[in-house]
Amino acid sequence: MTQANVYCETGLNYYSGDIPTPVGVSICNGREALSELDYERCGFTLLSHQSEVRDWRDEAELRRVHEPEIAKLARDFSGCDQVVVYPPLVRSPVTAASHDDYAPIEAVHSDFTEDYRLMVQQRDRPYREFLDPLLAASGLSRDDVENASRLLMLQFWRNIGDAFPDRPFALCDASTVPRTELASYLVPEYGGQKLAFETFMGLAPKDPQNQRWYTFPGLQIDEVIAFRTYDSRCEQEGRAFWTPHSAFVDPNVAADAPQRESLEMRVLCLFSN
Protein backbone atom coordinates (compact mmCIF):
# COMPACT_ATOMS: atom_id res chain seq x y z
CA MET A 1 0.00 0.00 0.00
CA THR A 2 1.17 3.54 -0.60
CA GLN A 3 1.51 5.95 2.29
CA ALA A 4 -1.02 8.27 0.63
CA ASN A 5 -3.74 5.63 1.05
CA VAL A 6 -3.11 5.00 4.74
CA TYR A 7 -5.91 6.40 6.89
CA CYS A 8 -4.33 5.51 10.23
CA GLU A 9 -2.04 3.26 12.21
CA THR A 10 -3.84 1.48 15.02
CA GLY A 11 -4.11 -1.80 16.88
CA LEU A 12 -6.48 -4.70 16.22
CA ASN A 13 -7.23 -7.56 18.58
CA TYR A 14 -6.50 -11.06 17.28
CA TYR A 15 -7.54 -14.34 18.85
CA SER A 16 -5.20 -16.31 21.08
CA GLY A 17 -7.47 -18.01 23.58
CA ASP A 18 -8.99 -16.06 26.45
CA ILE A 19 -6.59 -13.11 26.14
CA PRO A 20 -6.61 -11.19 22.83
CA THR A 21 -3.36 -10.35 21.11
CA PRO A 22 -3.12 -6.69 20.02
CA VAL A 23 -1.31 -6.23 16.71
CA GLY A 24 -0.36 -2.94 15.09
CA VAL A 25 -1.77 -2.54 11.57
CA SER A 26 -2.11 0.07 8.85
CA ILE A 27 -5.66 0.81 7.78
CA CYS A 28 -6.16 2.27 4.30
CA ASN A 29 -8.74 4.82 3.21
CA GLY A 30 -11.24 2.70 1.34
CA ARG A 31 -12.73 5.70 -0.42
CA GLU A 32 -9.43 6.40 -2.14
CA ALA A 33 -8.97 2.74 -3.05
CA LEU A 34 -12.57 1.89 -3.99
CA SER A 35 -11.93 1.69 -7.74
CA GLU A 36 -9.22 -0.91 -7.07
CA LEU A 37 -11.30 -3.04 -4.69
CA ASP A 38 -12.97 -5.91 -6.53
CA TYR A 39 -15.83 -7.37 -4.47
CA GLU A 40 -15.30 -10.92 -5.76
CA ARG A 41 -11.70 -10.82 -4.56
CA CYS A 42 -11.80 -8.73 -1.40
CA GLY A 43 -15.33 -9.56 -0.22
CA PHE A 44 -16.72 -6.04 0.31
CA THR A 45 -17.70 -2.82 -1.38
CA LEU A 46 -19.35 0.53 -0.63
CA LEU A 47 -22.82 1.20 -2.06
CA SER A 48 -25.10 4.23 -2.27
CA HIS A 49 -28.54 3.41 -0.89
CA GLN A 50 -31.44 5.73 -0.17
CA SER A 51 -33.92 4.62 2.49
CA GLU A 52 -37.36 5.72 3.61
CA VAL A 53 -36.49 5.07 7.27
CA ARG A 54 -36.88 8.14 9.47
CA ASP A 55 -35.88 6.78 12.87
CA TRP A 56 -32.94 4.39 12.64
CA ARG A 57 -33.25 3.47 16.31
CA ASP A 58 -36.88 2.32 16.03
CA GLU A 59 -36.80 -1.46 15.60
CA ALA A 60 -40.44 -1.60 14.53
CA GLU A 61 -39.78 0.88 11.73
CA LEU A 62 -36.66 -1.01 10.70
CA ARG A 63 -38.66 -4.23 10.46
CA ARG A 64 -41.53 -2.61 8.59
CA VAL A 65 -39.66 -0.28 6.25
CA HIS A 66 -36.03 -1.29 6.03
CA GLU A 67 -36.25 -5.07 5.77
CA PRO A 68 -38.06 -4.89 2.38
CA GLU A 69 -35.54 -2.29 1.21
CA ILE A 70 -32.64 -4.52 2.14
CA ALA A 71 -34.31 -7.55 0.54
CA LYS A 72 -34.45 -5.65 -2.75
CA LEU A 73 -30.88 -4.40 -2.38
CA ALA A 74 -29.63 -7.95 -1.75
CA ARG A 75 -31.46 -9.27 -4.83
CA ASP A 76 -30.19 -6.46 -7.03
CA PHE A 77 -26.62 -6.77 -5.77
CA SER A 78 -26.30 -10.56 -5.86
CA GLY A 79 -28.74 -11.61 -8.57
CA CYS A 80 -30.15 -14.27 -6.25
CA ASP A 81 -33.60 -15.81 -6.59
CA GLN A 82 -34.86 -15.64 -3.00
CA VAL A 83 -33.85 -13.89 0.20
CA VAL A 84 -34.28 -14.35 3.93
CA VAL A 85 -33.72 -11.11 5.84
CA TYR A 86 -32.40 -11.48 9.37
CA PRO A 87 -33.64 -9.11 12.12
CA PRO A 88 -31.92 -5.71 12.32
CA LEU A 89 -29.04 -5.42 14.76
CA VAL A 90 -28.29 -1.95 16.12
CA ARG A 91 -25.03 -1.40 17.97
CA SER A 92 -25.14 1.67 20.17
CA PRO A 93 -24.64 2.71 23.80
CA VAL A 94 -28.36 2.10 24.37
CA THR A 95 -28.48 -1.42 22.93
CA ALA A 96 -25.13 -2.34 24.51
CA ALA A 97 -26.62 -1.43 27.87
CA SER A 98 -29.28 -4.08 27.30
CA HIS A 99 -26.77 -6.76 26.25
CA ASP A 100 -22.97 -6.78 25.97
CA ASP A 101 -23.19 -8.52 22.58
CA TYR A 102 -24.55 -5.32 21.03
CA ALA A 103 -21.44 -3.27 21.69
CA PRO A 104 -18.99 -2.75 18.79
CA ILE A 105 -16.87 -5.90 18.45
CA GLU A 106 -13.21 -5.00 18.91
CA ALA A 107 -11.85 -8.33 17.69
CA VAL A 108 -10.92 -9.53 14.22
CA HIS A 109 -13.59 -11.99 13.12
CA SER A 110 -15.84 -13.13 10.28
CA ASP A 111 -19.28 -14.25 11.29
CA PHE A 112 -19.58 -17.76 9.81
CA THR A 113 -17.32 -20.73 9.02
CA GLU A 114 -17.63 -23.63 6.54
CA ASP A 115 -20.27 -24.98 8.91
CA TYR A 116 -22.81 -22.36 7.86
CA ARG A 117 -24.31 -24.36 5.00
CA LEU A 118 -24.76 -27.47 7.16
CA MET A 119 -26.16 -25.37 9.99
CA VAL A 120 -28.96 -23.85 7.89
CA GLN A 121 -29.74 -27.05 5.98
CA GLN A 122 -29.74 -29.66 8.74
CA ARG A 123 -33.05 -29.87 10.58
CA ASP A 124 -31.72 -30.97 13.96
CA ARG A 125 -29.50 -27.96 14.69
CA PRO A 126 -30.40 -25.38 17.40
CA TYR A 127 -30.22 -22.70 14.71
CA ARG A 128 -33.54 -24.02 13.43
CA GLU A 129 -35.47 -22.16 16.14
CA PHE A 130 -34.00 -18.90 14.87
CA LEU A 131 -34.20 -19.58 11.14
CA ASP A 132 -37.56 -21.32 10.70
CA PRO A 133 -39.71 -18.28 11.61
CA LEU A 134 -37.67 -16.14 9.20
CA LEU A 135 -38.21 -18.67 6.42
CA ALA A 136 -41.94 -18.73 7.10
CA ALA A 137 -42.11 -14.92 7.05
CA SER A 138 -40.38 -15.00 3.65
CA GLY A 139 -42.79 -17.59 2.26
CA LEU A 140 -40.03 -20.19 2.17
CA SER A 141 -39.36 -23.57 3.73
CA ARG A 142 -36.47 -25.78 4.70
CA ASP A 143 -36.79 -27.46 1.31
CA ASP A 144 -35.92 -24.17 -0.39
CA VAL A 145 -32.73 -23.91 1.63
CA GLU A 146 -31.77 -27.56 1.20
CA ASN A 147 -32.37 -27.47 -2.57
CA ALA A 148 -30.58 -24.19 -3.24
CA SER A 149 -27.65 -24.53 -5.62
CA ARG A 150 -25.81 -21.73 -3.87
CA LEU A 151 -26.06 -20.04 -0.48
CA LEU A 152 -24.70 -16.55 0.12
CA MET A 153 -24.71 -14.62 3.38
CA LEU A 154 -24.54 -10.90 2.70
CA GLN A 155 -24.22 -8.25 5.37
CA PHE A 156 -25.09 -4.60 5.00
CA TRP A 157 -23.42 -2.25 7.49
CA ARG A 158 -24.65 1.32 7.92
CA ASN A 159 -23.42 4.14 10.14
CA ILE A 160 -26.46 5.70 11.84
CA GLY A 161 -24.65 8.01 14.23
CA ASP A 162 -21.88 10.59 14.05
CA ALA A 163 -19.82 10.47 10.85
CA PHE A 164 -16.58 10.21 12.85
CA PRO A 165 -17.27 8.01 15.90
CA ASP A 166 -14.86 6.58 18.45
CA ARG A 167 -14.91 3.00 17.12
CA PRO A 168 -15.38 2.95 13.34
CA PHE A 169 -15.55 -0.15 11.18
CA ALA A 170 -12.69 -1.76 9.24
CA LEU A 171 -12.64 -4.69 6.83
CA CYS A 172 -9.79 -6.80 5.50
CA ASP A 173 -9.29 -7.82 1.89
CA ALA A 174 -10.33 -11.47 2.14
CA SER A 175 -7.78 -12.54 -0.45
CA THR A 176 -4.99 -11.48 1.92
CA VAL A 177 -6.18 -13.72 4.78
CA PRO A 178 -5.55 -17.45 4.27
CA ARG A 179 -7.69 -20.02 6.05
CA THR A 180 -4.68 -20.88 8.23
CA GLU A 181 -4.97 -17.44 9.86
CA LEU A 182 -8.54 -18.11 11.01
CA ALA A 183 -9.71 -20.21 13.96
CA SER A 184 -13.19 -21.72 14.24
CA TYR A 185 -14.94 -20.74 17.47
CA LEU A 186 -18.33 -21.96 18.68
CA VAL A 187 -20.74 -19.24 19.84
CA PRO A 188 -23.38 -20.98 22.00
CA GLU A 189 -25.68 -17.98 22.17
CA TYR A 190 -25.80 -14.40 20.98
CA GLY A 191 -27.92 -11.56 22.28
CA GLY A 192 -29.69 -13.99 24.58
CA GLN A 193 -30.63 -16.42 21.78
CA LYS A 194 -29.33 -20.01 21.71
CA LEU A 195 -27.88 -20.21 18.19
CA ALA A 196 -24.82 -22.47 18.47
CA PHE A 197 -23.04 -21.19 15.38
CA GLU A 198 -19.38 -21.26 14.41
CA THR A 199 -17.56 -18.00 13.78
CA PHE A 200 -14.07 -17.29 12.49
CA MET A 201 -11.68 -15.54 14.87
CA GLY A 202 -8.63 -13.95 13.28
CA LEU A 203 -5.27 -15.33 14.38
CA ALA A 204 -2.34 -12.96 14.66
CA PRO A 205 -0.63 -12.97 11.23
CA LYS A 206 3.08 -13.72 10.95
CA ASP A 207 3.45 -10.51 8.94
CA PRO A 208 0.65 -7.99 9.58
CA GLN A 209 1.64 -6.04 6.48
CA ASN A 210 0.42 -8.94 4.34
CA GLN A 211 -3.14 -8.19 5.39
CA ARG A 212 -4.82 -5.25 3.65
CA TRP A 213 -7.21 -3.41 5.96
CA TYR A 214 -9.62 -0.65 4.89
CA THR A 215 -12.08 1.77 6.43
CA PHE A 216 -14.48 4.28 4.90
CA PRO A 217 -14.17 7.58 6.81
CA GLY A 218 -17.15 9.86 7.26
CA LEU A 219 -19.88 7.39 6.37
CA GLN A 220 -23.23 9.06 5.70
CA ILE A 221 -26.73 7.66 6.19
CA ASP A 222 -27.18 7.03 2.45
CA GLU A 223 -24.09 4.81 2.26
CA VAL A 224 -23.88 1.13 3.14
CA ILE A 225 -21.00 -1.34 3.19
CA ALA A 226 -21.92 -4.68 1.62
CA PHE A 227 -19.76 -7.67 2.51
CA ARG A 228 -20.00 -11.45 2.48
CA THR A 229 -19.47 -13.81 5.38
CA TYR A 230 -20.39 -17.04 3.59
CA ASP A 231 -20.65 -18.08 -0.05
CA SER A 232 -20.94 -21.74 -0.97
CA ARG A 233 -19.69 -20.99 -4.50
CA CYS A 234 -16.50 -19.45 -3.13
CA GLU A 235 -16.07 -22.41 -0.81
CA GLN A 236 -16.50 -24.91 -3.67
CA GLU A 237 -14.00 -22.99 -5.79
CA GLY A 238 -11.46 -22.84 -2.95
CA ARG A 239 -11.70 -19.05 -2.62
CA ALA A 240 -12.12 -16.95 0.50
CA PHE A 241 -15.78 -16.73 1.50
CA TRP A 242 -14.95 -14.86 4.71
CA THR A 243 -14.43 -11.12 5.20
CA PRO A 244 -12.54 -10.36 8.42
CA HIS A 245 -13.71 -7.17 10.09
CA SER A 246 -13.46 -5.33 13.40
CA ALA A 247 -14.17 -2.11 15.22
CA PHE A 248 -11.02 -0.14 15.93
CA VAL A 249 -9.84 2.82 17.98
CA ASP A 250 -9.50 5.73 15.55
CA PRO A 251 -6.49 7.88 16.47
CA ASN A 252 -7.73 10.60 14.08
CA VAL A 253 -10.71 11.52 16.26
CA ALA A 254 -10.80 13.14 19.68
CA ALA A 255 -10.78 11.01 22.80
CA ASP A 256 -14.31 12.23 23.55
CA ALA A 257 -15.66 11.50 20.04
CA PRO A 258 -19.29 10.28 19.98
CA GLN A 259 -19.77 6.59 20.58
CA ARG A 260 -20.51 4.55 17.49
CA GLU A 261 -24.05 3.83 16.41
CA SER A 262 -24.46 1.39 13.54
CA LEU A 263 -26.98 -0.93 11.92
CA GLU A 264 -26.27 -4.42 10.60
CA MET A 265 -28.63 -6.22 8.26
CA ARG A 266 -27.88 -9.84 7.31
CA VAL A 267 -29.48 -11.51 4.32
CA LEU A 268 -29.36 -15.18 3.37
CA CYS A 269 -29.47 -15.26 -0.44
CA LEU A 270 -30.68 -18.43 -2.18
CA PHE A 271 -29.86 -19.33 -5.78
CA SER A 272 -31.95 -21.88 -7.67
CA ASN A 273 -29.44 -22.75 -10.39
CATH number at residue 164: 2.60.120
- pLDDT tens, position by position, 222-239: 999 999 999 999 999 999
- pLDDT tens, position by position, 110-123: 999 999 999 999 99
pLDDT of 137 strictly over 90: yes
Residue type, 149: S
> What is residue 17's predicted lDDT score, i.e. its pLDDT?
78
> What is residue 19's predicted lDDT score, i.e. its pLDDT?
82
pLDDT of 97 strictly over 80: yes
- pLDDT tens, position by position, 179-199: 999 999 999 999 999 999 999
- pLDDT tens, position by position, 204-224: 999 999 999 999 999 999 999
Percent of the chain with pLDDT over 90: 96
How far is Cα 38 from Cα 14, in angstroms, rounded to an integer? 25
**R_g of the chain, CA atoms, integer Å:** 18
Domain of 115? 3-271
Closest CA to 30 of 215, 171, 173: 215
> What is residue 29's predicted lDDT score, i.e. its pLDDT?
97
Q: Is 196 left (phi over 0), alpha (psi -120 to 50) or beta?
A: left
Residue 40 burial (CB count, 10 A):
12
Is 184 in contact with 112 (CB distance < 8 Å)? no
> Residue 18's pLDDT band (boundaries 50, 70, 90)?
confident
What is the Cβ-side half-sphere exposure of residue 245, based on CA atoms within 13 angstroms? 27
CA 126 to chain centroid, in Å, comes to 22
Number of domains forming the structure of the chain = 1
